[in-house]
Amino acid sequence: MIVETDAIDAQLTMLDVEVPSWAYGNSGTRFKVFAQAGVPRDPFEKVADAAMVHRMTGSAGSVAIHIPWDKVDDYAKLSRFAHDEGVRIGTVNSNTFQDDDYMLGSVTHPEAAVRRKATEHLLECVDIMDATGSRDLKLWFADGTNYPGQDDFRSRQDRLFDVLHEVYDRLGDDQRMVLEYKLFEPAFYSTDVPDWGVSYAHCLKLGPKAKVVVDTGHHAPGTNIEFIVAFLLREGKLGAFDFNSRFYADDDLMVGAADPFQLFRIMHEVVKADAIDPASGVAFMLDQCHNIEPKIPAQIRSIMNVQESVAKAALVDQVALGAAQLAGDVLEANSIIMDAFNCDVRDAVAQWRETRGAQADPVAAYRGSGYAERIVGERVGGTQMGWGA
């Protein structure tokens, strides 16, 4: 199959993948957090690391922040710093999962005072969006129950909706809320937003500024994620992706590492819907943690994996595919998809990066840049950032 570089270039030129600030901090499992040398001590250093990922790859123009982990006194200053480094502050992620008050839930908690506290946090996140110029508020709730009978499912949905509604009303004209779902964890019996259907139902009721987030790690094994993506795109309700890889649960490994074919199938649906284009309103984000591997090159590798999957999706012969589908030619339709997936697009993507002023071989360029050695030397003293659990 001929590698059509024009088709690849057109998609990659539109592609913008947001990186998570928390990927640069220390992280681990519930068993152990392994600290790494050179890890940022404040959100500014996280942004500097994110900017390095963008310089190497050319596709990572914004960095998501997580509140309160990334609280600063002056958000306008953080935005200016990001701008000077060549990136933007993107999505503001809320955190209603690390406070003792939230043991039985946050926005669904039986006590009104706890729900109020969670609501105030979400409203504060919107204030921060005003200061950073961010468009999206990302909501993920750890709410759920561990035991049958522990709480009433329907009352919890009512409480959830009331809070979402109040926060929705506070959004500015150009702001949105994106609601993430997750099958399980930390609650094990029931989760209050367990799947795309629950998220979609709330978003539909809230209005056009509410959209669904698909975190690729938040599904049962074997779930057909590309079908969910196709459905939400069709309904205009796909707000964002949190990309990562999973083998078993919410593993937060590098996207494209566990199942590159799944990532390609997802990107095929996105490309087919012309939704790589930022005008589509779909935000592409990584939501990953690097526990045993160096963080910055792991982010670089992840962006490269997304670039390569988009490039392969760009090669799908849509016209031939449509004809084969209409003709009921099952084998031909399948082989058209597989031809694109099996293409080696690495040279074409490297060339695109080079013409964009990024690096043909971003990991090697990063290794040769001296950045890793510099931050290890400079970031001495202070407290390394982490997910603070």
Query: What residues make contact with ligand PSV under the rule CB under 6 A?
Result: 93, 140, 180, 182, 215, 242, 250, 287
Q: Which stretch binds Mn ion (CB under 5 A): 8-16, 214-222, 229-237, 266-274?
A: 214-222
Distance in Å, CB of 135 to ligand PSV, minimum: 17
Distance in Å, CB of 373 to ligand PSV, minimum: 29
**Structural contact between residues 191 and 182, judged by C-beta atoms closer than 8 angstroms:** yes
**Closest C-alpha among 79, 74, 73, 171 to residue 122:** 171
- Per rule CB under 5 A, is residue 242 in the interface with Mn ion? yes
Distance in Å, CB of 242 to ligand PSV, minimum: 5
Distance in Å, CB of 93 to ligand PSV, minimum: 5
Count of Cβ atoms closer than 10 Å to residue 239 Cβ: 25
Could you tell which of Mn ion, ligand PSV, none binds residue 9, using a CB distance below 5 to 8 A set by kind? none
Could you tell which of ligand PSV, Mn ion, none binds residue 85, using a CB distance below 5 to 8 A set by kind? none
- Per rule CB under 5 A, is residue 250 in the interface with Mn ion? no
- Per rule CB under 5 A, is residue 287 in the interface with Mn ion? yes
What are the backbone angles phi and psi of residue 283, rounded to the nearest 5°?
-95, 130
Could you tell which of ligand PSV, Mn ion, none binds residue 200, using a CB distance below 5 to 8 A set by kind? none
And the tokens for 378?
A: 């400079």
Q: Kindly tell me which of 65 and 314 has the beta carbon lying closer to ligand PSV.
A: 65
Give the total of residues touching Mn ion (CB under 5 A): 3
Phi-psi region of 140 (alpha: psi -120 to 50; beta: other; left: phi over 0): beta
Q: Kindly tell me which of 8 and 285 has the beta carbon lying closer to Mn ion.
A: 285
Q: By the criterion CB under 5 A, which residues form the site for Mn ion?
A: 215, 242, 287
